[in-house]
């Protein structure tokens, strides 16, 4: 069973959070997660043609930045946005970034 590292939000520096949100693919993934309660890794992918290794790297970076939590449900990995915790750590940041996202 895979084990994922989910940092305490108080340990996440602002520059790491901004780095994770700066990539258009990762930002698209966060926007997709913000619009729904949870997504599998495949459903969270920014496009169908993305290699699995690239998708895994994006998800790993989003976890390290405290933006998402990944849990296992059977054979699927399910991702959820850590919205409440992230907003406590960086008030308003996610709202501003998502509102100004170029789709």
61-88: pLDDT as tens digits: 999 999 999 999 888 999 999 999 999 9
Integer CA distances (angstroms), 85 to 1, 24, 72, 82, in order: 26, 22, 20, 6
For the record, the structure tokens of 98 come out as 């998502």
Q: What is the pLDDT of residues 2-60, one digit of tens each?
A: 678 899 999 999 999 999 999 999 999 999 999 998 999 888 887 778 898 999 999 99
Please give the Cα distance from 37 to 89 (Å, whole number): 20
**Single pTM value for the model:** 0.91
């Amino acid at each position: 069973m895979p084990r994922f590292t989910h940092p305490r939000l108080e340990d996440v520096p602002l520059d790491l959070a901004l780095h994770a949100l700066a990539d258009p693919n990762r930002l698209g993934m966060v926007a997709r997660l913000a619009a729904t309660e949870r997504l599998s890794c495949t459903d969270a992918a920014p496009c169908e043609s993305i290699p699995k290794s690239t998708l895994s790297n994006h998800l790993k970076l989003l976890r390290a930045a405290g933006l998402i939590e990944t849990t296992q449900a059977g054979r699927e990995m399910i991702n959820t946005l850590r919205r409440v915790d992230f907003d406590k750590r960086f008030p308003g940041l996610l709202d501003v970034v998502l509102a100004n996202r170029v789709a």
